[in-house]
Copies of this chain bind each other. A is one copy, B any other.
Amino acid sequence: MLSVNDFKPEAVIVGAGEFPSHPIPLKWLEGCQRVVCCDGAADRYLETGMPIWRIVGDCDSLSPENSLRYAPIIRRFADQETNDQTKAALYLHGKGYNHIAIIAATGMREDHTLGNISLLIDYMRQGIDARIYTDYGVFIPVSGNASFRCPAGTRVSIFSFGATKFRAEGLRYPLHDFTSWWQGTLNDTVNDDFSIEADGDYLVFINYEK
């Protein structure tokens, strides 16, 4: 049974999207030993005074001052084929940390938002259990079947990445094989848990508020 509340991340990635204000994404930073900032996102994050462990990315957007001051914790990867969020996830994966909460991955430029969200599927396929926590809910990548515990009335959306044979229990509206993103949105739970069966990969977005 997967749950929104039982996730125990070993590391937090801070992206360059809108910095969260909701307590759920922010709580992952409290006492976290491995906060990894994506490149220039560190400039803004460092102003909060919260803990930082590494700055990872191609380091083309970090300020010259912080590039110098934080040189010992910067890990530079120049690969043009991946974005900074992926560089951070792969860096953690290489260190053996595969349970990752990602915050500040959405908001602002929508092309970044869409890219960052969809990358959760790629990370999952590489053995990384990463979730994106926004100010509104959490994106959880799933392959095959999954069950979730959350209060009745929780709003849930499902985004297919090639998955077929969708079936659900505990959701108000039946699932089918989606051909567009909107078709799996704005469902809600009728019990205190729900389960999804499918062949293939998909994202579940669970809103914090009912």
Contact = CB atoms under 8 A, between A and B. Distances in A.
Interface of A: 83, 106-119, 121-122, 134, 136-137, 139, 155, 157, 159, 161-162, 179-182, 185-186, 205, 207
* Copies held by the complex: 2
Q: Can you list the 10 inter-chain pairs with the closest CB atoms, starting with the nearest?
A: A118-B181, A115-B182, A111-B157, A115-B185, A109-B136, A118-B182, A114-B181, A118-B180, A111-B185, A111-B205
B162 A112 contact: no
A109 B205 CA distance: 10
Contact of A110 (B109, B111, B137, B182): B137
B180 A161 contact: yes
A161 B160 CA distance: 12
A108 B182 CA distance: 16
Given A118-B181, A121-B180, 20 more contacts: A83-B182, A83-B185, A83-B186, A108-B136, A109-B136, A109-B207, A110-B117, A110-B134, A110-B205, A111-B137, A111-B205, A112-B185, A114-B117, A114-B159, A115-B182, A115-B185, A116-B182, A118-B182, A161-B179, A162-B179
A92 to B, nearest CB: 18
Contacts of A181: 114-115, 117-118
A162 B162 CA distance: 10
A207 B110 CA distance: 9
A181 B111 CA distance: 9
A139 B109 CA distance: 12
